[in-house]
Structure formats: C-alpha cells, structure tokens
Amino acid sequence: MDLPYPSLMFLADVDRVSAKTALGVAHWRPEACAGQLRLEGCEVDLGLPDMTPSAAKAAGARSLLIGVANAGGYIPPHWEAVLIEALEAGLDLISGLHTRLASLPRVRETAERLGRRLIEAREPDPRFSAVGEGFKRSGQRLLTVGTDCAVGKMYAALAIAKELKSRGVSADFRATGQTGIFIAGSGAPIDAIVSDFVAGAAEVLSPAAGADHWDVIEGQGSLFHPAYAAVSLGLLHGSQPDALVVCHDATRMAIDGLEHFPTPSLAEAIDLNIRLAKLTNPAVRVAGVSINTSRLTPEAAATYLKDTAESLGLPCCDPVRTGVASIVDALLGGPAQRDAA
C-alpha cells in the first residue's frame, strides 16, 4: 500500500484493547507517527504529542490514521467531525475499519472537494478470492495463534521475523490484519475476505518458497472465540504451518467482551490448534509460547514465564520484555514440541 506517513494517530475515545492499531504502529513504526489526537474519555496515551489536525499538518504529518480496532470495525457518528477537520487541514485519511470512509457522505464529499485520499486497509486484493486447495507447498511457515483476540499474535510474529532475519535466515512477516498491514505496507485483510476464500487467501499470502525460507504469518482471532473462531480456522488451514506459536495474555481470565466465556488454558489451546492444523500439515509442531505480561510487575512476569515454560515444556517469552530468542532457537533447532493428546 502507498501509505502517506507520517500520520496523526487518531485514538478517539477508546480503551487500550480497542487502540491496538495505534499501539502497534507506534511500537513497530515510530517514524510513521507524528502525534496523537484523543477525544474525551480516551484511556490510551502513546506518549506522542497531542495535536490538532492543523498542528499535525504544520509539523509535517501527511495523514490521519484511525488507530482503532473496535468490535465490529465501525465509525461512530461523533468521529466524523474529526475526520472532516483532518481533511480540511490537508491530511489524507487512513482506515482499517469495516465501515468504509467513502460510505460516509460528508466525509466522501469533503475528500472529493479537497482532492484528499481515503485509504482503506480492508479492501481485499482480487488475488485473495480463491478457494484453498490444501496442497503441500515448499518453504516453511510459522503461524501465531491465541487463546483470545488482542493477546499479542502480531507482536510475536513481527518479533520472530525480526529475530530470524538478524540471524541471517530468509524470512518474511505476512500481515493478515489492518495493523500489520499498516506496519508492513502489505498483506491480506483476512477478516474482510469472504469466508470461503480465507484459506485460499492464506495460501496466496504465503506461497511456495525456498526450502530454508520462513513465512511468519500473523494470526487472527482465536479458535475459542464464539464470534471469530471461523477466521482463525480458515487461516490455520490455509497457512499450512510447520510451526505454531501460541499467544496468551497473562491476566486475561475471560474472552474479551464476552465475559461469560472463560479463557482456555494454554494446554487446551495447544492441543486444539495442533489437532486442527494437522488437516493440512500432519507434521505441525509448537515452537513456543508468547505471553503478554504488560500488566504484571517485572518480578511477577519473570515468575509467570518461568513457571509456564516448566509446566508446558516449551520456550516461553514476552516479545517486548524478553525478546523471542528462545522460541527461534527451538524453531531452528527442531523438536521441542507439545503434541495433541
């Protein structure tokens, strides 16, 4: 995608979970962020200067990026005034939500009048409109999977791809969501693809490659999520992973937003993902566990990671706090795995 960075990151009035797009871009592409714009009630601070659209334009911003990934991917009516203000200040708009910017009459008309661009990450490429075939492809693939949404699947995938490259291994990060696309500049917006084509899109996204090449594929949703399990399963089958990294939030007790569904244990998540992944790759293994410990003290996080590694017999790390070297060691060294019962 031709993304006009740097951007003013629009955080609106959301909580930390819903602001994962802005948080991800700010962490992995800080040079793309000129400042932040927050509305009353916003619970997130990126540590960037608070700016109006006019101030951001004067500071060199080229666009306003909606840094929100809310449930349903919609744009509430009270955000429209900010979007129009940004257009009038000379900024293009970038969105990864399901609501199309051009479907908002006032936003569309303002953009047309001023010659501004409305850029959508969830506009699937026609290449991603094929049914999966399930044939074995050359090359190697790692897919991050999770016990829930927003537990660090993208962070883990980006960190693993970066670590592999630092060791001279041929590797690519493959984005499957709007945040990953904003970071990588390309990818497949899996949750905007017709369900029949999700597995096929994953196949196109991670095509046949050299025997030593790793495609590190960003996972989406969770097999345990009542609303989003379908996209997780399609991605699991189409990715045909040789290795899985299971991601979890250390403090998450229930599925986010659906508190009557408890979060599964890591052992449950490992076993179910392995069983289902074997449909397209019987040799799939687990390379490690990635834990989001951001809400724990450093001491509590270290204990949690150590205890989890010992109980599962797998490398266990936090991509931000500890890095992912132990997972990559297992990935390249081979057999450490917990198989399904």
- Which band of pLDDT confidence, cut at 50, 70 and 90, is reported for residue 337? low
What is the structure's pLDDT at 126? 79
Asked if pLDDT for residue 336 goes beyond 60, the answer is no
CA–CA dist 196, 64 (Å, integer): 33
The 7-12 sheet, strands edge to edge: 33-38, 7-12, 63-66, 92-95, 118-120
Q: What percent of the chain has pLDDT over 90?
A: 86
Look up tokens 């949750």; give the residue: 191
Please indicate, yes or no, whether residues 192 and 308 belong to a single structural domain of this protein: yes
Q: How far apart are CA 46 and CA 37, in angstroms?
A: 10
How is 130-167 classified by DSSP, letter by letter? S-------SSEEEEEEESSSSSSHHHHHHHHHHHHHHT
Which of 120, 149, 182 corresponds to the end of one domain? 120
Q: Is the pLDDT of residue 137 over 80?
A: yes
Domain count, the chain: 2
Which helix or strand (DSSP H or E) is residue 106 part of?
helix 105-114
pLDDT surpassing 50 at residue 341: no
What pLDDT sits at residue 123? 80
* pLDDT band at 340; cut points 50, 70, 90: very low
Q: Looking at residue 229, which CATH number applies to its domain?
A: 3.40.50.300
In the listed set 72, 91, 120, which residue is the last one of a domain according to the structure?
A: 120
pTM (2 d.p.): 0.90
User: How do residues 74-92 score in pLDDT, each as one tens digit?
Assistant: 899 999 999 999 999 999 9
pLDDT tens-digit map of 98-122: 999 999 999 999 999 999 999 998 8
Please report the pLDDT score of residue 30 as a whole number. Answer: 96
The helix or strand, by DSSP H or E, that contains position 291, with its residue range, turns out to be strand 285-292
Indicate if 242 and 316 belong to the same structural domain.
Answer: yes
Structure tokens that stand for 72 in this block: 């349903």
Q: Residue 125: what pLDDT?
A: 77
Domain's final residue, options 77, 97, 120? 120
Residues 206 and 227 reside in one and the same domain? yes
Are both 181 and 312 inside the same structural domain? yes
Q: Per-residue DSSP letters for 212-265?
A: T-EEEEPP-S-TT-TTTHHHHHHHHHHH--SEEEEEEETT--EETTEEEEEPPP
In a domain, 340, yes or no: no
Q: With 70 as the cut, is the pLDDT of residue 335 above it?
A: no
Domain CATH for 76? 3.40.50.720
Summarised one tens digit per residue, pLDDT across range 220-273 is: 999 999 999 999 999 999 999 999 999 999 999 999 889 999 999 999 999 999
Are 73 and 150 in the same domain? no
Q: pLDDT by residue (tens digit) across 33-48?
A: 999 999 999 989 999 9
> Can you say how many angstroms the Cα of residue 23 is from the centroid of all Cα atoms in its chain?
11
Query: Cβ of 114: how many Cβ atoms within 10 Å?
Result: 14
- Residue where the block lists tokens 């991670």: 206
Residue 339 is assigned to a structural domain of this protein:
no
Tell me which residue range forms the domain holding 159: 127-333
Averaged pLDDT of the chain: 93
Domain presence at residue 71: yes
Both structure tokens of 101: 């910017």
Is residue 1 one of the residues assigned to a domain? Answer: no
Asked if residue 266 and residue 241 are part of one domain, the reply reads: yes
Residues above pLDDT 70, as percent of the chain: 97
Task: Calculate the CA 284 to chain-centre distance.
Answer: 22
Query: What's the rounded mean pLDDT across residues 125-135?
Result: 86
Spatial contact of 221 and 232, defined as CB atoms under 8 Å apart: yes
